[in-house]
């Protein structure tokens, strides 16, 4: 099976089809996707996708700037970008599928999987968190660099919402943005700042006195 891989820009993922199997899909197989992150050491530039049922008809990277800002989670960044994929030929309509994604680097403990799409209770595309829910048996479990996505055909997480033996998924892993660095002041820097402030105050005081004399 040959894989067509699209070269990705340094520091992120660009739009385009990343991997397509020449035989129309990879049955219970692994598709290797090049993500090329600045922080990834040599030999660890790849994310891998694997499904327990059906096959990947497509795997695509989605540029973050193409997704709407309205409703997007605030204070969250997506260092590995977003992916969209389609799984076809599930064993049964309405059946289950589990997708394991292995990313190049460990994810923070606070990492969450976010999706932009439709849900059974809201057929208008919107941002929503897709973490594992025992009641529905759907959602993401994150452990280190592994993201395990649990799907039920036609239910939460399947963007087409149809029990058609096919899973549609657009989403990505997000984590809290790092806090803005607080500038550090040395004794020399503080002394210089105090001196500058004293000069500014002296100039203003002199100008005030001149206005009063006039």
pLDDT on residue 16: 33
- pLDDT score for 72: 93
User: Is there a contact between 115 and 169 (Cβ–Cβ < 8 Å)?
Assistant: yes
Residues of the chain with pLDDT under 50: 1-27, 38
Strand partners, 46: 34
- Of 155, 153, 156, 150, the closest CA to residue 165 belongs to 153
Question: Which long-range contacts does 133-138 make (Cβ < 8 Å, 24+ apart)?
Answer: 137/96
d(CA 197, CA 19): 60
Q: Check residue 41 and give its pLDDT.
A: 57
Comparing CA positions, the residue from 67, 48, 39 lying closest to residue 5 is 48
- What is the structure's pLDDT at 83? 86
């Amino acid at each position: 099976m040959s894989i067509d891989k699209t070269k990705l820009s340094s520091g992120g993922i660009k739009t385009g089809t990343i991997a397509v199997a020449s035989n129309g899909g990879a049955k219970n197989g692994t598709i290797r996707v090049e993500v090329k992150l600045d922080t990834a050491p040599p030999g660890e530039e790849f994310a891998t996708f694997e499904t327990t049922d059906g096959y990947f008809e497509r795997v695509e990277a989605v540029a973050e700037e193409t997704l709407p800002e309205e409703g997007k989670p605030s204070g969250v960044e997506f260092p590995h970008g977003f992916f969209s994929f389609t799984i076809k030929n599930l064993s049964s309509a309405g059946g289950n599928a589990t997708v394991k994604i292995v990313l190049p680097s460990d994810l923070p403990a606070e990492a969450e999987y976010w999706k932009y799409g439709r849900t059974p209770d809201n057929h208008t595309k919107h941002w929503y968190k897709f973490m594992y829910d025992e009641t529905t048996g759907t959602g993401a479990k994150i452990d280190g660099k592994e993201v395990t996505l649990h799907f039920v055909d036609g239910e939460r997480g399947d963007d087409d919402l149809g029990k058609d033996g096919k899973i549609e998924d657009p989403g990505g892993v997000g984590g809290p943005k790092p806090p803005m660095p607080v500038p550090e002041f040395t004794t020399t820097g503080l002394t210089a700042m105090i001196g500058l402030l004293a000069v500014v105050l002296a100039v203003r005081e002199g100008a005030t006195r001149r206005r009063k004399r006039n």
